[in-house]
Amino acid sequence: MMSNSMEFHLSLYRKMVMIRQFEERVKYLFLEGIMPGTIHQYQGQEAIAVGVCEHLADEDVITSTHRPHGHAIAKGLSVESMMHELFGKSTGCCAGKGGSMHIGDMAHGMAPAIAIVGGGAPIATGMALAFTMRKQPQVAVAFMGDGAVNEGAVHEAMNMGAIWSLPIVYVVENNRYSASTPIAQTTKVANLADRAAAYGMPGVTVDGNDVLAVYEAAGEAIHRARTGGGPTMLEALTYRITGHSRRDPCLYQPEEERKAALTQEPIVRFTEFLLSQGHTQQALDGVRDEVNAEIERAVQSAMAAPDPAPEEALVGLFV
């Protein structure tokens, strides 16, 4: 892996910016009332999806959450197919039947996102079991937030992953809030990864706003999973710099904390790093412009696509 090359760093940057700009564009479309539905966004957590998924091929699989856009982009879904889905078009990646909270495409190894907190962990564990039963070299990653670790399904899933030594990584994105409730109010342990010991699996806490640190820690965990070493609980510390959903003004996040977080968010930090490594601001701006153009093409294409016939809703429940 070309993990230290300038080209590699720029590709990570491009993916993170793609997620950020996609989310910003979606936020605007939503607030303007142009896009239907509700949204849960990923701004501030981009380094985690990108750092983890960089190790995964299309044949490796993930489960995601109600906050899935970042995972989808990092896993290789096209922003065009996603944008069509968010606009409810039958040309979307889930034919308009999934929407924001169920975005996914198994052609790229992403199951329809699971919008019940913790609900994806058993499913990812079952995907990993399928790899083991068929003696395939692939791995599964279950993405979840800090709120999910207090769900029973996650406990059951991590225990099963551990006793069967499955090829899976449980990635906990600790953005410090379960919707509006701060983590100190829900969880006693200092590090969520400490809970891994209860299942007999390694637990690792990493700076989730440092894409290279995530990349390195995820690489170890995924390598362990791929080579028969069983699951890992990987906790990535981060901060949600957008609302929980919709028009949430985040009044529950203390202003000082929020201000500090904005200086520590992953794209600010990676930009500083890239500039220190000899990348030019002009080059980074060029990446951003390209990304924006791609997203704009997706928006225009999605808005121009015809709405589905209402009765398409009745088609396809069963095979």
Partner 1 sequence: MAQMTIAEALRQGLREEMTRDARVYCIGEDIGIPGGWGGAFTVTLGLEKEFRERIIDTPISEAGLFGVALGSAIMGMRPVADVQYSDFIFCAMDQVVNQIATMRYMSGCKLTVPITMRAPVGATGRGAQHAHNIESMFLGIPGIKIVCPATAYDAKGLLKAAIRDDNPVLMIEHKLLYGSKGARTESGAVDASSDIPDEDYTVPIGKGIIRREGRDVTLIGTLLMMHRAVQAAEVLASEGISAEVIDPRSLSPFDWPLVEASVRKTGCAVVVEEGPRTGGVGAEIAASLTERCADALLSPVARVAAPDIPVPFSPPMENFYIPDVARIAAAARSVIVRQRMSVSA
Instruction: Return the C-alpha torsion angle 280, 284, 285, 291, nearest 10.
Output: 160
Give the separation between CA 138 and CA 128, rounded to whole angstroms: 8
Q: Which C-beta is closer to partner 1: that of 73 or that of 157?
A: 157
Q: Which C-beta is closer to partner 1: that of 2 or that of 319?
A: 319
Q: Which C-beta is closer to partner 1: that of 17 or that of 124?
A: 124
Q: Which C-beta is closer to partner 1: that of 156 or that of 248?
A: 156
Q: Which C-beta is closer to partner 1: that of 96 or that of 266?
A: 96
Residues that bind partner 1 (CB under 8 A): 61, 63, 92-98, 102, 104, 106, 111-112, 114, 116, 119, 121-131, 133, 140, 152-153, 156-157, 159-160, 163, 315-319
**In the complex, minimum distance from the CB of residue 84 to partner 1, in angstroms, rounded to a whole number:** 11
**In the complex, minimum distance from the CB of residue 19 to partner 1, in angstroms, rounded to a whole number:** 22
Q: Determine how many CB atoms are found less than 10 A away from the CB of residue 286.
A: 12
- Cα–Cα distances (Å) from 44 to 206, 262, 264, in that order, read 15, 8, 9
**In the complex, minimum distance from the CB of residue 128 to partner 1, in angstroms, rounded to a whole number:** 7
**In the complex, minimum distance from the CB of residue 62 to partner 1, in angstroms, rounded to a whole number:** 11
Q: Which C-beta is closer to partner 1: that of 219 or that of 308?
A: 308
**In the complex, minimum distance from the CB of residue 200 to partner 1, in angstroms, rounded to a whole number:** 13
**In the complex, minimum distance from the CB of residue 40 to partner 1, in angstroms, rounded to a whole number:** 16
